[in-house]
Structure 1
Amino acid sequence: MDEPILAINHRSPTPQWGSPCPGHRGDDGLLFDAGHAGKHMTPGWRFADHEVFRRREVARFGVADPVFEKRCTHPRCADNEGFQLSRKYKSFLRRTRKSVVLSLAGRTDTCVRSSHICQGSSGLLLVREEFLKPTFLETYSMQKKLLALAAMSACGIASAQSSVTLYGVIDTSYESVKTNAGRISGFGGSGYRGSRIGFRGVEDLGGGLKAGFVMEGGFNADNGSGAGSTTANNQNGGLGAGALIFGRRSTVSLSGSFGELRFGRDYNPNQYNWGYFDPIAYGNTVGTAAADWASSAMTQPWTRVSNSIGYFLPGNLGGINGQVMYAFGERASNETFAGTTPAYAVGRSTKKNGTFIGGRIGYTEGPIDTQVTYDRTTYAAGTFNVSPLGIAAIPTGSSTELTWGASYKFGSIKPMVLIARRQNDDAGGLGNTLTMNGWNIGAIWTVGGGEVQMSYGRAKLSSALLATEPEAHKWSIGYLHNLSKRTAVYGYLARVGNSGGAALTAASASPGALGAVGGAANINGTSTGFQIGVSHTF
């Protein structure tokens, strides 16, 4: 009889670890064989003295990369307790046609990243089909009650075909930003992660089909108010602040072997690249890349898209992953621009304003991850005002972006690169364009119980409308230290330089941020920001 391949988080009353591991970011009930798994797993883990892997299984697999990689730390991944399973190992299971059950107790949402199997660590169990047979359960050395409970979890929650989970993040930080015009300091509403509270649920409809939902709203941890969200119907303006709304995400979905169909307010496909290939971007801290600031100031929607229909490829395509999205602007067919300036916009039909189309295609296998994204939001000429890099506002039309990002993990170091180009049509007049070209390079270095995050990048604007080419460059460095699997402390430092009329600052990008002191003195000036804070997930 074969032994189980993995058993994780069995919630033993007595921890299995000999001593706490500084680099371990998982649960104290993780079981691995110290003699075999230690040769093939991510360095830094400690393993219980228990036989789970067999030599022949490891030999047949021939692992060159870890079977189980580190805990998923992406802010959109459930409650950041998930683990990512090596794609190479999943491929091995498919090739050998092993019957595998991957299920959970109390965690049902999957990570937005298609290469992860990230469904939380509570009761997660990955086993051979034989592991579930009663005869095997009786002979296995684990306590029978614990094993029976885990087996029930692994059976796809046979006794409970639907579940709802409450989750969230509370994050606040002290930030201080200095510009040529002055300094502002104090507490912000978020920092490394955006403070939020959410609900997610799933229902097994049978035949491999599942229905799910996510409702997630942001709030400012420093004063308890609701955090405003951008783009109601993908137009200028926001959804407002003060009351708790589900502006971070509000979706209902159907998923199965075909992939996933998702409806509602969801992330723009470009956020995969801006989040995964800028080591500091999703922290929303003072370290967010210059190109990130420039691109986001040239379009709505940018982070999230309202009124959307999205499709995600299934996760069994040998490393290929992607998505497409379409969103409605929800404008009346007889609607026209009601303003009096600019002259070339007066009377133009705005019935298609806010209509969005976007997509992402990429390849993720082992240490390699590379993605291309595209998005376009339609606006009638002259009806959408933008002010990237702190320049004076310019009326524009439709906005289009193309990005490419890539990363490669070398042991504890993960370098990455991001290149982006955004272009707005009819800038200041018919036929003119306003173009942003930006890039960012960086790395994440896992050391001890935390991460060192570093980045440097530039963003430049060009247009026949502009006498110069405004440009900003920015370097950032930060350190995140995990006190536990739920709590972390962090600190970031950033420096911005401007030329050609740019006036970008080192202000934090987090909800409820203090911003920066503005003024003409900031044009072609410098700005410095630092931030320290604490983040807790639940």
Structure 2
Amino acid sequence: MKRICSAVLLLSMAAAAHAQSASGSSVTLYGVLMEGLIYSNNSLKGSSIGTANGPSRWGFRGVEDLGGGMRTLFVLEGGFNPNTGSAAQGSREFGRQAYVGLQDEGWGSLTFGRQYDLTQDWLAQYSSPLMWNGYTATVGDNNNFNYQFRTNNAVKYVSPSYRGLQAGLLYSFGGVAGSFGNQSAVGFGLNYAQGPLKLSAAYMRMNHPASAASEGLWTTSQFASISANSPTVSYAIAPTSMELYGAGGSYAITKTTSVAMVVTHSRFDNLGVAQLGLTHGRASYTNIEANASHYFTPAYQVAADYVYTTGSIQPTDFSPKYHQFSVINNYFLSRRTALYVTGIFQLAAGDAQHANIEYASGSGGASSSKRQVAVTAGIFHRF
């Protein structure tokens, strides 16, 4: 029955996608397919190679013109693994986004549903994972710029742009009976865009994120650094809260050359790590990222990215540090299809004993040394 209902939904929405009224109402079917191979020189003491599953997705985006400068808008978007065809984001049908709302030229937009928070909307735009591909995320994706989880039950307001400046607010209802704030989230931010310059600042806090956003990396190598000597251990964690804030900006020097920088601080409070006997641990990370890109020809783009991450793990006083360098090559066969090759080098420092590139670790494991190299190559297609 579920498959029949899904088929009816797809057919009806696909039919609607062909019908666009003169009033400006429309429904659009869209998607992204990203596939390739990833090589790591050292994953658990050995080299590895496997398929690289990028942020593939498909969805529907729609608007209805209500007149007087107001319109209804919605997005239904699901992620999937092109290697297996399985749904991503915890096997949700529309796990990436699912929201509906109203937008007005004078007062802004108000949306309801599963959405991105304002750090993802406005800070991630300056980060390499969003601009080019997800393989260059910070250690453990601790700032969630690789979109490991979204915010459920969210109400988000974004103001209209006034001389390039916008403000945003988000609140997520936890939905836990008898505990109004148990799995709730709150966020706010400012975004400025005028000519070649963009600037943003944003804040997000989520209570009990392992329950509120269960598809996140809550069993993850990002906290394996609590143990200084084992690259193979990944602990199941259950922080009482996650907090993330930061600021960033970009500048288009010319039509072909741009630079960007973003600084974020993430904190995970009251970690429960049963394997280490911790019940009130804390992990915090500061990430400083700078990048630049240049089109040598209309079809060939090269980008370089550097991320410095410093962490603090309590109560062990463990202070890991990481330097990550990336070079991204994109060759556009058309406006919708590109071939990519990305090289990533990470150096662990401070108390960190093992390099841990996000996607290299996902396919194999952390390095057995302080150095790790990963190379990805594949195809990106947008429809």
TM-score scaled to structure 1, two decimals?
A: 0.58
Match for 1:406 among 219, 227, 249? 249
User: Who is 1:506 aligned against?
Assistant: 357
Query: How far did residue 442 of structure 1 move?
Result: 0.9
Label 1:503 to 1:186 Cα distance change in 2 as closer, same or farther (>3 A): same
User: Who is 2:363 aligned against?
Assistant: 516
Q: Secondary structure at the match of 2:176?
A: coil
**Aligned partners of 1:497 and 1:524 also within 8 Å:** no
User: Who is 1:314 aligned against?
Assistant: 160
Match for 2:94 among 243, 246, 270? 246
1:369-427, Cα deviation, whole Å (9 max, x unpaired): 1100100112399x987752532445532221111111112113211111111122334
Label 1:396 to 1:167 Cα distance change in 2 as closer, same or farther (>3 A): closer
Match for 2:301 among 438, 451, 456? 451
User: Who is 2:88 aligned against?
Assistant: 228
Matched residue type, 2:102: L
User: Does residue 396 of structure 1 match 2:239?
Assistant: yes
Query: How far did residue 516 of structure 1 move?
Result: 3.4
Matched residue type, 1:173: G
**Aligned partners of 1:461 and 1:470 also within 8 Å:** yes
1:136-156, Cα deviation, whole Å (9 max, x unpaired): xxxxxxxxxxxxxxxxxxxxx
Q: Distance in 2 between matches of 1:524 and 1:268?
A: 36
User: Who is 1:476 aligned against?
Assistant: 326
Label 1:357 to 1:380 Cα distance change in 2 as closer, same or farther (>3 A): closer
Query: How far did residue 326 of structure 1 move?
Result: 0.7
Q: Distance in 2 between matches of 1:464 and 1:198?
A: 42
1:162-196, Cα deviation, whole Å (9 max, x unpaired): 32211112221111123252232122332xxx221
**Aligned partners of 2:244 and 2:266 also within 8 Å:** yes
User: Who is 1:425 aligned against?
Assistant: 269
User: Who is 1:277 aligned against?
Assistant: 126
Q: Distance in 2 between matches of 1:172 and 1:467?
A: 40
Q: Distance in 1 between matches of 2:147 and 2:185?
A: 8
Label 1:425 to 1:457 Cα distance change in 2 as closer, same or farther (>3 A): same
Mapping 1:349-388, distance limit 5 Å: 352-379=181-208, 388=222
Label 1:166 to 1:196 Cα distance change in 2 as closer, same or farther (>3 A): same
Q: Distance in 2 between matches of 1:222 and 1:358?
A: 35
Match for 2:75 among 214, 219, 224? 214
**Aligned partners of 1:390 and 1:502 also within 8 Å:** no
**Aligned partners of 2:267 and 2:283 also within 8 Å:** yes
Q: Distance in 1 between matches of 2:171 and 2:353?
A: 33
Q: Secondary structure at the match of 1:407?
A: strand
User: Does residue 415 of structure 1 match 2:259?
Assistant: yes
Label 1:363 to 1:351 Cα distance change in 2 as closer, same or farther (>3 A): closer
1:189-214, Cα deviation, whole Å (9 max, x unpaired): 32xxx221111111111222111111
Matched residue type, 1:170: L
Match for 2:103 among 243, 249, 255? 255
Label 1:250 to 1:158 Cα distance change in 2 as closer, same or farther (>3 A): closer
Q: CA RMSD in A?
A: 3.2
Mapping 1:121-140, distance limit 5 Å: none
User: Who is 2:113 aligned against?
Assistant: 264
Matched residue type, 2:100: V
User: Does residue 176 of structure 1 match 2:39?
Assistant: yes
Q: Secondary structure at the match of 2:143?
A: helix
Label 1:222 to 1:517 Cα distance change in 2 as closer, same or farther (>3 A): closer
Label 1:301 to 1:410 Cα distance change in 2 as closer, same or farther (>3 A): closer
Q: Distance in 2 between matches of 1:164 and 1:351?
A: 36
Name structure 2 gaps, 5 residues minimum.
Answer: 1-13, 213-217, 227-234, 273-277
**Aligned partners of 1:501 and 1:524 also within 8 Å:** no
**Aligned partners of 1:352 and 1:379 also within 8 Å:** no
**Aligned partners of 2:129 and 2:137 also within 8 Å:** yes
Q: Secondary structure at the match of 2:142?
A: helix
Q: Secondary structure at the match of 1:318?
A: coil
Q: Secondary structure at the match of 1:508?
A: helix
Query: How far did residue 482 of structure 1 move?
Result: 1.2
**Aligned partners of 2:123 and 2:201 also within 8 Å:** no
**Aligned partners of 2:339 and 2:379 also within 8 Å:** yes
User: Does residue 293 of structure 1 match 2:141?
Assistant: yes
**Aligned partners of 1:178 and 1:517 also within 8 Å:** no
% identity of equivalent residues: 26
Query: How far did residue 363 of structure 1 move?
Result: 1.4
Query: How far did residue 284 of structure 1 move?
Result: 4.0
- Normalized per residue, the structure richer in strand is 2
Name structure 1 gaps, 5 residues minimum.
Answer: 1-105, 110-156, 230-238, 334-349
**Aligned partners of 2:354 and 2:368 also within 8 Å:** yes
Q: Distance in 1 between matches of 2:130 and 2:348?
A: 20
**Aligned partners of 1:493 and 1:531 also within 8 Å:** yes
Query: How far did residue 494 of structure 1 move?
Result: 0.1
User: Who is 1:529 aligned against?
Assistant: 374
Label 1:287 to 1:247 Cα distance change in 2 as closer, same or farther (>3 A): same
**Aligned partners of 1:424 and 1:435 also within 8 Å:** yes
Query: How far did residue 477 of structure 1 move?
Result: 0.4
Q: Distance in 1 between matches of 2:325 and 2:310?
A: 15
1:223-270, Cα deviation, whole Å (9 max, x unpaired): 3x13321xxxxxxxxx23xxx711111111101121111111111211
Q: Secondary structure at the match of 1:505?
A: coil
